[in-house]
Amino acid sequence: MVRLRLGTRGSPLALTQAGMVRDALCAAHGWRPDDIETVVIRTTGDRVQDRALAEIGGKALWTKELDRALLAGEIDAAVHSMKDVETVRPAAIRIAAMLPRADVRDRLIGVAAIADLPHAATVGTSSPRRRAQLLRRRPDLRIVLFRGNVDTRLGKLAAGEVDATLLAAAGLDRLGRTTVGHAVPTDTMLPAPAQGAVGIEVRADDAATQALFAAIDDPATHACVAAERALLAALKADCHSPVAALASLSGEMLTLRGELLAEDGTAQVEGHVEGTADDDLGARLAADLLARAPDPVRRLFAG
């Protein structure tokens, strides 16, 4: 008998992450793997690969079909890479749990370090954050649009379409590609908000399913990702906005770091705040960054 239907995208990484959620639920509740059905839902973001997300609807392209299936009762929960989930979510949907966070860093693939890239090298990425961070350190680089799943991007790199690319370490590790690429320190490239976190959403009025997922929620990950997403909300950032953020928790003390950049990397502001998870650290950091941001950065944010 199927106890729960998990909705997910169909990429190898998305299916791996859905499997992680299934395994965690089985361990927590003594279920068998076949008690949970994995329902693959193809998203617009998967279908359209030749344009940047910001040009065709932003992060909602990863979530809207899963949202529809969830609200229609076709699935009981949806599994997401949290960095792909838009900041403002429907009131009828709630983030029920997050798995323990994986490596938050980016990995550079093609060379060992940014400094090793040849002059005017071509780097493939679809991320405004990565583009701006790269150009801030290496304005000579040529940045080109690079979309597709992990294998697609690695294939394009192997075919010589670009000299290098960047991928999230967490995704590579989950796919068993632990030796691919070189981790970029967070002091060099602060990651995307919520990078490395897998989240599960359920219907807000489904208390029973929420209770099932509460058993696998990692409180530290949930608190850190919530703070990073609160920064995005306060900034009113969108897919065009180069923004990086990382929260860390030590005992009761949460530290939230953030960075805002101009699209071409020529201007930047960074900072951090400290407090507890109950403090509105996202709003505090947003106010501080916007107050100090150069005009080319400030105008990209509506906060």
Give the residue numbers marked as catalytic: 84
- 293: nearest Cα among 266, 256, 273: 266
